[in-house]
Structure 1
Amino acid sequence: MEVRGGRPRTARSLRYKEDAMAHTSEWRMRLHLFEEERTTKAHVVLETGTTTLTGHGVAHRNPADSDVPEIGDELAAGRALNDLGRQLVALAEHDVEGTAATGADREHGQTLGWAM
């Protein structure tokens, strides 16, 4: 038996805490790359089960640069993923604001929830 805060914790209470904290989810992401002449475009789709977000990225090759398609793919994909990341952070911030404390806590600039 584990004791914390002066109170014994039983196996049942420990198991409940573990069950209450467990959260598993699977998000699916698809990344599409398109190349035409000196331009590579990336389109990424994230499906969370409740939300679908899309990100976009573009890379332009300078005519003086060597033709290495992988570089355009990496730049366009990275930019699309950055776009998606910005959207995810904005969505999370919006959700935190919607679930934050009201009243005095907001008057003092405190927002309860995940640290941003």
Structure 2
Amino acid sequence: MTRTVQWTVGLSLTEDEGTTRARAELDTGTSTLTGKGTARCNPSDVDVPVIGDELAASRAMKDLAAQLMREANRDMEAVGAGTVPQHTGPGYGWPEAVT
């Protein structure tokens, strides 16, 4: 059986006073999930907006991916299948900025 679906991910970024916020929205056609991420520029660092964009966007997509994995785990449990083991690795950047 061949099956083709298209899911769309939109990513928006806003920056205000050294803080970049990202919003990643996944539209599956039947549901929507939204991931969020932020990045802050240390006042002693050179302001390079693209770095804030990259960090905030990656954090929003990581949040979105985690939500999607939780959905998949719930769906697998609902049909009696085992879930995928959760592995976490080290984060990047300052720990207080990752959340």
TM-score by length of 2: 0.81
Structure 1: how far apart are the matches of 2:18 and 2:77? 43
The structure richer in helix per residue is: 1
Between structure 1 and structure 2, the one with the greater Rg is 1
Please report the RMSD computed on the Cα atoms of aligned residues, expressed in angstroms.
Answer: 1.1
Q: Does 1:29 align with 2:24?
A: no
Q: Show the counterpart of 2:64.
A: 84
Match of 1:99 among 69, 79, 82: 79
Higher relative contact order, structure no. (Cα contacts within 8 Å, ≥ 6 residues apart): 2
TM-score by length of 1: 0.70
Shift of 1:98: 0.5
Shift >6 Å, 4+ stretches = none
Matched residue SS, 1:49? coil
Q: Show the counterpart of 2:39.
A: 59
Match of 2:49 among 38, 63, 69: 69
Q: Show the counterpart of 1:43.
A: 23
Shift of 1:53: 0.3
The number of equivalent residue pairs is: 84
Structure 1 residue runs without a partner (length 5+): 1-19, 101-111
Identity %: 50
